[in-house]
Amino acid sequence: MPAPPFLVLENNEKPTGLCIDIWGKIADSLGSSYTFVEKDEQLLLSDLEKHELDLTIIPLTITPERMRKFYFSQPFFITTLSIATNANDNDQVKTFLHNFFSVGFFKIIGLLFFIILVFGFLVWFFEHRKNKKHFRKGIKGLMDGIWWSAVTMTTVGYGDIAPTSFWGRFFATIWMFTAVIIISSFTATISSALTVNSIKNNIDNINDLREVRVATIRGSSSADYLRNNKILFIEYERIEDALNDLSHEKIQAFVYDKAIIEYYLSKKQYQSVLTSIALSANKEYFCFASTNESLIHKINPFLIDVLESTDWNLMLKKYNLGED
């Protein structure tokens, strides 16, 4: 299973990546021959548990469940989980304008004008025969009623138009009291329509994930993390599929290992579209794993030699990695 930049498999070429380089040095020191076998992570762990494989060099993270099944090497890289999200989510001006011209917003405005029209028509209907000075006949008079209704609702109170008949004042009184409630409710609803998407999509921490559509990789430690935090999520088989759906806003957040996410986000097709936020409270330790305890004991000294060698920083730099 590819996990760039630790394990890179492209165009049927030989596997490359930091894990390949580390293992190459360890194998040279051990004087051991080896054969690479490519497998899906779930199948790989199953075959490892059945002793059909000797060792996995994918960047496997330590979990309590895995520790009951496998022996782990000295960690060779420490990272955190990270949340990949749409880069435009934090653009408040763009989000505001997008919501301002949304269908939902115009529905609210349309309903508001409809209510103004209804009360404007009712007052005009009872006034235009007896109060021709303020409420004229025909379409002009109807516009007078709408103008009065809007002015009354907003409590501007110009006084240029006022009902004088019993029924005109009756409906005017109803409108005055109800308009106070209506305008307050509509103001809150309009504000919500303009900002709710911004609030939901502005992901800063783990708690924000409860309000959005979240995804991760099937069987990964990030899936365990989300499950333990009682966050609903969708599982993908491939990172590329998840990031493509994220960039097309089919999901709002993708949770996975920070180093791997940042490798993908450095690619041209994602640079201006996606961004990431580290979950610094959660550490991820990348290790090799085996069911053979003696093999892990043999590997560990040579692995530490690699980590303490002068070549280690060059190896990290080669794959644009830095110690977290």
Domain spans in the chain, listed from the N-terminal domain onward? 18-79+283-318, 85-90+203-278, 95-201
pLDDT exceeds cutoff 80 at 179 = no
pLDDT by residue (tens digit) across 289-319?
A: 999 999 999 999 999 999 999 999 999 999 8
pLDDT exceeds cutoff 90 at 202 = no
Q: Looking at residue 13, what is its pLDDT?
A: 76
Q: Looking at residue 17, what is its pLDDT?
A: 93
pLDDT exceeds cutoff 60 at 142 = yes
What is the residue-averaged pLDDT of the chain?
83
Pair 210, 222: CB distance under 8 Å = no
Q: Looking at residue 239, what is its pLDDT?
A: 92
pLDDT exceeds cutoff 70 at 231 = yes
At the top level of CATH, the class of 95-201 is mainly alpha
Q: Looking at residue 101, what is its pLDDT?
A: 64
Residue with the larger pLDDT of the pair 96 and 308: 308
pLDDT exceeds cutoff 70 at 255 = yes
Q: For 274-285, what is the mean pLDDT?
A: 82
Q: For 129-152, what is the mean pLDDT?
A: 79
pLDDT by residue (tens digit) across 46-90?
A: 999 999 999 999 888 888 889 999 999 999 999 889 999 987 655
Enter the CATH code of domain 18-79+283-318: 3.40.190.10
Q: Looking at residue 136, what is its pLDDT?
A: 81
Q: Looking at residue 221, what is its pLDDT?
A: 85
pLDDT exceeds cutoff 90 at 95 = no
Q: Which residues contact 75 (CB under 8 A, 6 or more apart)?
A: 62, 285, 286, 287
The tokens for 31 are: 């004087």
Q: For 206-233, what is the mean pLDDT?
A: 90
SS3 assignment for the chain: CCECCCEECCCCCCCECHHHHHHHHHHHHHCCCCCCCCCCHHHHHHHHHCCCCCCEEEEEECCHHHHCCCEECCCCEEEEEEEEEEHHHHCHHHHHHHHHCCHHHHHHHHHHHHHHHHHHHHHHHHHCCCCCCCCCCHHHHHHHHHHHHHHHHCCCCCCCCCCCCHHHHHHHHHHHHHHHHHHHHHHHHHHHHHHHHHHHHCCCCHHHHHHCCEEEECCCHHHHHHHHCCCCCEEECCHHHHHHHHHCCCCCEEEEEHHHHHHHHCCHHHHCCEEEEEEEEEEEEEEEEECCHHHHHHHHHHHHHHHHCCHHHHHHHHCCCCCC
| Alpha carbon distance 223, 220 (integer Å) | 5
The type of residue at 182 is: I
pLDDT exceeds cutoff 90 at 269 = no
Residue with the larger pLDDT of the pair 236 and 1: 236
At residue 20 the predicted structure's pLDDT band, cuts being 50, 70 and 90, is: very high
pLDDT exceeds cutoff 90 at 107 = no
Q: Looking at residue 37, what is its pLDDT?
A: 87
- Do 85-90+203-278 and 18-79+283-318 fall under one CATH topology? yes
pLDDT exceeds cutoff 60 at 195 = no
pLDDT exceeds cutoff 80 at 185 = no
| Alpha carbon distance 116, 111 (integer Å) | 9
Q: Looking at residue 102, what is its pLDDT?
A: 65
Q: Looking at residue 158, what is its pLDDT?
A: 67
Q: Looking at residue 256, what is its pLDDT?
A: 93
At residue 25 the predicted structure's pLDDT band, cuts being 50, 70 and 90, is: very high
This prediction's pTM: 0.61
At residue 137 the predicted structure's pLDDT band, cuts being 50, 70 and 90, is: confident
Q: Looking at residue 166, what is its pLDDT?
A: 83
At the top level of CATH, the class of 85-90+203-278 is alpha beta
Q: Looking at residue 199, what is its pLDDT?
A: 41
> Could you tell me which of 300, 320, 323 has the C-alpha nearest to residue 22?
300
